[in-house]
């Protein structure tokens, strides 16, 4: 997973971290991260494997407070080699089903970085609509500031 996310983060500016930010992650920290995200009622990760190697992953997290437990959030990444094969669509279908089965969940939320037209296309196809904008949310290495958009799908 660590090798995969380092590679995925280097292939696009549309993920939230640069590859070098994972450099200090030990195998133990990664194991504990995976355990937290796989063995927890409120967080779930799905990984996609091609020939035994991770090709992509997605995560769904459920809020748990009385005032916000109707909300879920999702995130996704796939290695460039496997873009446009429908993997993202399949992963979203799974995450939406998971959210629909959970009692009381009314909406799924996500963010995407301005310019990520492929992601936006996928999210709109899956029924998400833009609800807001966070100006200058992301600062790239070259100093450029980029907006982030918030999206929501009602269940
Ligand atoms: C965004 C991402 C998850 C999409 O996954 P995917 O497996 O490529 O998605 P799919 O193949 O299911 O669907 C991609 C859709 O985008 C469309 N598309 C492809 N290139 C496009 C482009 N340049 N502009 C707009 N739409 C585009 C495809 O036609 C397809 O739509 P369709 O099913 O209606 O034909 C993947 O590209 C990725 O991981 N990108 C890098 C990381 C990232 O951006 N993650 C999301 C952060 S918010």
State if residue 91 touches ligand 1 by the CB under 6 angstroms criterion. no
For residue 14, give the ligand 1 atom closest to its CA.
Answer: 44
- Cα 126 from Cα 94, distance rounded (Å): 11
CA distances for 92 relative to 9, 45, 59, 99, 154, angstroms: 20, 12, 10, 10, 14
State if residue 87 touches ligand 1 by the CB under 6 angstroms criterion. yes
The predicted pLDDT at position 34 comes to 86
- Bigger pLDDT: 150 or 31? 150
Per the prediction, the chain carries an average pLDDT of 96
Strand, coil or helix: what is 147? strand
For residue 11, give the ligand 1 atom closest to its CA.
Answer: 41
Q: CATH topology for 2-154?
A: Aminopeptidase (3.40.630)
Percent of the chain with pLDDT over 90: 90
- Cα 76 from Cα 42, distance rounded (Å): 17
Question: pLDDT for 96-139, tens place per residue?
Answer: 999 999 999 999 999 999 999 999 999 999 999 999 999 999 99
State if residue 117 touches ligand 1 by the CB under 6 angstroms criterion. yes
What is the pLDDT averaged over residues 17-36? 90
pTM, entire model = 0.95
- Per-residue pLDDT band for 154 (boundaries 50, 70, 90) equals very high
State if residue 112 touches ligand 1 by the CB under 6 angstroms criterion. yes
- Cα 15 from Cα 13, distance rounded (Å): 6
Strand, coil or helix: what is 50? strand
CA of 78 to the centre of ligand 1 (A): 9
Query: Contact 8/78 with Cβ under 8 angstroms?
Result: yes
- Per-residue pLDDT band for 38 (boundaries 50, 70, 90) equals confident
């Amino acid at each position: 997973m660590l090798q995969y996310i380092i590679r995925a983060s280097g292939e696009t500016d549309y993920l939230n971290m640069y590859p070098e930010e994972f450099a200090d992650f030990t195998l133990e920290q990664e194991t504990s991260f995976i355990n937290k995200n796989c063995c927890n009622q409120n967080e779930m990760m799905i990984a996609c494997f091609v020939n035994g190697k991770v090709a992509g992953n997605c995560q769904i997290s459920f809020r748990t407070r009385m005032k916000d437990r109707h909300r879920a959030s999702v995130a996704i990444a796939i290695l460039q080699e496997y873009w446009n094969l429908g993997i993202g669509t399949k992963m979203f279908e799974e995450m939406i089903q998971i959210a629909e089965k959970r009692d009381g969940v009314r909406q799924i939320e996500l963010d995407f970085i301005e310019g990520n037209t492929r992601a936006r296309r996928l999210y709109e196809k899956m029924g998400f609509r833009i609800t807001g904008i966070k100006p200058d949310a992301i600062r790239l290495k070259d100093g450029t500031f980029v907006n982030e958009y918030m999206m929501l799908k009602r269940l």
